[in-house]
């Protein structure tokens, strides 16, 4: 929507639905908390905050929305690919304390994708996704998991040879 507004368009189509650009008014802020995470504090009681519980976050949808807000195209397919790749890392790499393939990893990769897209708006989006994965995940891997990681990114077409 932001890109459509900048281009002077009066409407934008997202997932087959047409939205008027002038109807876009930010009127809420979403904050997510992991209540089981050490060091979390509760929000003060206030009418400004509404609690909403969910058991399983819709990671593909979260990624899809974030990518669309950064100006990516084909976000539904890319969201599924990113989610599936992160899930494969979670299930196929050895369980290690410093690995976190949950929402924090999703968010970290999305933030990195936003920076990469801003730096080079015309770059191939699959190359940006491959670069974000390598920059975010590869440095934390144990030597043993590095080989498994390489097979995962090849499976999803995210090997860095795409970037070079």
Each residue of 93-142: pLDDT tens digit? 988 878 888 888 999 999 999 999 999 999 999 999 999 999 999 999 98
Residue 111 lies in a domain: yes
Which CATH number is 78's domain given?
A: 1.10.8.710
Cα separation, 65 vs 114, in Å, equals: 12
DSSP state for residue 154 in the 8-state scheme = H
Residue 146 lies in a domain: yes
Domain ranges, residue 151: 57-162
Mean pLDDT of 26-40: 57
Residue 145 lies in a domain: yes
What is the value of pTM for the model shown? Answer: 0.67
Structure tokens at 8: 């002077």
Residue 117 lies in a domain: yes
Residue 118 lies in a domain: yes
**What is the per-residue pLDDT across 63-80, written as a single tens digit (0 to 9) for each?**
998 998 898 988 999 999
Residue 20 lies in a domain: no
Residue 139 lies in a domain: yes
Structural domains in the chain (count): 1
> How far is Cα of residue 65 from the mean position of the Cα atoms in its chain?
8
């Amino acid at each position: 929507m932001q890109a459509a507004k900048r281009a002077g368009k009066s409407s934008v189509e997202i997932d087959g639905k047409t939205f008027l650009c002038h109807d876009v008014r930010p009127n809420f802020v979403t904050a997510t908390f992991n209540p089981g995470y050490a060091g979390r504090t509760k929000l003060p009681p206030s009418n400004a905050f509404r609690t909403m519980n969910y058991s399983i976050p819709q990671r593909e949808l979260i990624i899809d929305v974030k990518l669309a807000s950064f100006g990516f195209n084909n976000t539904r397919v890319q969201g599924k690919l990113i989610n599936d790749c992160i899930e494969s890392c979670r299930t196929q790499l050895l369980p290690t304390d410093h690995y976190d393939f949950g929402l924090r990893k999703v968010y970290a990769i999305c933030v990195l994708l936003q920076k990469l897209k801003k730096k080079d708006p015309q770059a191939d989006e699959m190359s940006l996704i491959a670069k974000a994965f390598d920059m975010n995940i590869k440095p934390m891997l144990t030597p043993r998991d590095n080989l498994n990681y390489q097979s995962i990114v090849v499976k999803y077409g995210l090997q860095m040879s795409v970037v070079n």
